[in-house]
Structure formats: structure tokens, C-alpha cells
Amino acid sequence: MYTLTQQYRKTIIPALEKELGTKNPMALPRLVKVVINCGMGEAIKDKKTIEKMATQLGVITGQRPVITKARKAIATFKTREGDPIGIKITLRGKRMSDFVIRLINVALPRVRDFRGIPKRGFDGHGNYTLGIKEQTIFPELDFSMVDRVRGFEATFTTTARTDEEAKLLLTLLGMPFEK
């Protein structure tokens, strides 16, 4: 089985050159990083929930998450400045490619009634955000660790200039977009 870098060099670069009409491989779009974000509003009441989810995301990604804190106090949400309200992980290099391969080949096929990922997650600048409703679709996560099913977002940051280039890149990487 190819690593993501080998697959990019052997199959994706020639396909992108042919499709985009570019001869310079450095001008072709590539995947730079994957940012995983999990906002947890219930952490205001129970501080242990962030630690539990941080452990679970650490097992899924192989990297320890960073706790995000509230920037300012908002009375309607009962938050104070500095309260922990979520976690995030930035994956690059080998950990990024391992996560993307596991997401595409193992986790997404385990989703019930899966018909493909939505096309509406592009931001207009060549980046794609995928919402994952359950962390339990990853097989490396032991069910005894899960106290409650939570979702998170995975943002795929690319060097593509347009959404069409980014969609082409992600499709060639194996992302199963809906028809």
C-alpha cells in the first residue's frame, strides 16, 4: 500500500498535470495540513469532558490536542474569558497522511447509510471542511473510552487557488464525494 506522499508523486501529479494543463509540479495543488477542531460547550459545566475527548482524539490522530480557551466573556453562553471551550489538533507530514488514509479507507466506509461526503464544505479559497458526527467510526478508539458520542470537524488545507482545483486534488486522493 502506498503512503500518501508516494501516491501523490506516482499517480496524482501526472493526473493533475494532465487535468490542469500545468507542467511545473511545484505549481500543482497539494495538501498542506489537516486541522481537527472539537468545540465543547458542555465543558463549562464539567471540566472532565475536555480531558476525555482530548484523550480520544489523541488516540485517533496520534498527537496530543491543544485546549482552546474563550477569548472573551459571553454572559448568554455563561463563559468567562479563559474558560476551556474546545480542543484542536494540527496534523502535518506523516501523521497527516496516516490520518487521511485511515479516514478515507477505514472510517468513512463505517458510517451508516454513507453516500459520500458533501460538496458544500469548500470555503472559496481551496480548503475543505468535513464534519464528522461520531468519533466512534475510527476503529482504533476503544468503546470503553467513549462516555458520549461527540462530533468534530476536519479542515483540509490545500495550496489550491480555487475550490475546483481543491476538489480535483481531494478526489484524486480518494475522498468519496457524493454524486
**pLDDT tens, position by position, 18-36:** 998 888 889 899 999 999 9
Residue-wise pLDDT tens digits, 106-122: 888 888 888 889 989 99
pTM: 0.84
Confidence of residue 82 (pLDDT cuts 50, 70, 90): confident
Cα angle 62-68-69, degrees, rounded to a multiple of 5: 160
Q: CA 16, CA 165: separation in Å to the nearest integer?
A: 9
Beta strands in the chain (DSSP E): 31-39, 66-69, 84-91, 128-132, 152-158
- Does some domain include residue 19? no
- Does some domain include residue 179? no
Q: Which residue has the cell 476503529?
A: 139
Is the pLDDT at 56 greater than 60? The verdict is: yes
For position 2, what pLDDT does the model report? 63
Q: Which domain holds residue 97?
A: 4-12+26-173
Is the pLDDT at 84 greater than 80? The verdict is: no
CATH number at residue 97: 3.30.1440.10
